[in-house]
Amino acid sequence: MVAERFITLAIHTYPHAVTLKKILESHGVTVKFENLVISGAGIASGVRVKILETDLPLALKITESSGSFPSAKLEMKMAGSYATVLIPVDFSPDSLRACKAGFEIARKLSLHPVLLHAYVTPYFNGNIAYGDSLSGGLSPIDGGEMEAIEEEMDMQKESNRMMSAFRKKLDAALQDAGLGDIDYSVNVSEGIPEEVILEYCRLTPPGLVVMSTRGVDKKGEQLIGSVTAEVLDSCRVPVFTIPDNFNFTSVDSLKKLVYFCNLDQQDILSVDSLMRMLEYPDVDVTLIPVNERAGDGIKDKVNILCEYFNKNYPMARFTTEVFPAKTFREDFENYDRQAGIQLLIVPNKKKNVFSRLFNPGIAHKLLFERDTPLLALPV
């Protein structure tokens, strides 16, 4: 009797692999784990989730083919995220472009778009008088505080009015783009925009945040205090940024990609999650290691990583480029001009305030230096 063969369904960190195992076993699929280390590169790449070959049709139906539970939603369920796309808006033409891109992505991944607008109100100082606090009374509201309350109410009404006007423009644009059938939600909140966005992502993490950015010719005006840069530096969900002068049509139109790799476990997990979420697209991906010392050891590791990806994702074509640390910026600038890169993918590590001020991450730098869409993946 021929023993049944186990095949690899996915690769995950151990906690995510356990979640997937529970989902599959609840449907009667036999699952086992296998630790994976890429030979020669020394990269511990997580856990292989293996199933019986005879269970593959059912496993694919559970994880990818089900209309009510597609692969993108499964990924988000495993990561503790909601099946939504968050699109911050300020009612500008750039916001309209970001919405169209966000709705395209939402359709691709079967997600629900949520528009978020934040407005800033005057500071309200409602101090409690010590004498009154002992007897349970509050200090009376003076004329200045009452004026601030009225102004806040006026700003809230104005923000809601502007959101209604923006939605009319958006609905017309979505109808023209063939996206008018997608249902969406809106959220108008008081607060500093970047803080409102980060708090929303912390409390109800979306699967993706889509934000517009200014072109390089305008970014000098916003080097300090950029909302998008603040979100990139602190957000723990994927962030997709679109420059105002980039003509985004669809996710499938992005064929020339660059992935900045750290040559660690997260590279395997990030690329595997990305390729399955986008259904193993026909794309060209250049792996560029970001390392202080780009010597022979680095070249060998990234080449082994490249071979691994080409073997496991045959529809895509993976190549490598290694630039010396001293000339990294200039070399990448020349490569970008020649290759026509359409999407930059950056594993984005969370930094403290000091590091963000004096040593910003590569995602932050690329945001201001390039007129190319950028996908920042939290690691």
89 and 217 co-located in one domain: yes
Predicted local distance difference test score (pLDDT) of residue 205: 92
CATH number, domain of 218, equals 3.40.50.620
Q: Is residue 146 part of a domain?
A: no
Sheet strands (E) in 236-278: 239-243, 256-261
CA distance 11 to 272: 7
| Residue range of the domain that includes 170 | 83-120+153-242
Mean of the per-residue pLDDT values of the chain = 79
The CATH number for 27's domain is 3.30.70.1530
More confident residue, 361 or 85: 85
* Digit-coded pLDDT (tens) for 26-58: 888 999 988 876 666 666 667 888 998 888 878
Domain end call among 242, 264, 294: 242
Instruction: Note whether 71 and 276 are within 8 A (CB).
Output: yes
Q: Indicate whether 48 and 110 sit together in one domain.
A: no
Same domain for 108 and 220, yes or no, is yes
- Look at 49 and 349; give whichever has higher pLDDT: 49
Could you tell me if 160 and 292 lie in one domain?
Answer: no
pLDDT of residue 354: 43
- Residue 221: half-sphere exposure toward Cβ, Cα within 13 Å: 6
How does 312-338 read in b/e, with b if 16+ C-beta sit within 10 Å?
A: bbeebebebebbeeeebeebbeeebee
Q: What is the pLDDT of residue 13?
A: 76
185 and 267 part of one domain: no
> Is residue 30 domain-shared with residue 113, that is, in the same domain?
no
d(CA 45, CA 293): 22
CA distance 235 to 241: 13
The total of structural domains in the chain comes to: 3
**pLDDT tens digits for range 250-300:** 888 999 999 998 888 788 878 887 887 777 788 999 999 986 555 568 888
Q: Is the pLDDT of residue 14 over 90?
A: no
**Confidence check: pLDDT of 127 > 50:** no
CB distance 113 to 314 below 8 Å: no
* Residues 192 and 100 both lie in one domain: yes
Q: For residue 175, what pLDDT band results from cuts at 50, 70 and 90?
A: very high
Query: Is 261 in the same domain as 301?
Result: yes
pTM of the full structure: 0.74
Q: Are residues 17 and 102 in the same domain?
A: no
Rounded mean pLDDT, 147-173: 85
Nearest-CA neighbor of 321 among 308, 313, 332? 332
193 in Cβ contact with 71 (< 8 Å) = no
Average of per-residue pLDDT across 3-18: 80
pLDDT above 90 covers a percentage of the chain that reads 32
- Within a domain: 215: yes
Q: Are residues 238 and 252 in the same domain?
A: no
268-285: string of b/e by CB count within 10 Å (b at 16+)? bbbbbbbbbbbeebebeb
- Does residue 130 fall inside a structural domain? no
Q: What's the pLDDT tens digit per position in 224-256?
A: 347 888 888 888 899 999 988 788 888 889 999
Examine the pLDDT at 360 and tell me if it is beyond 70: no
Clarify whether residues 19 and 100 are in a common domain: no
Q: Which of 206, 223, 242 is the last residue of a domain?
A: 242
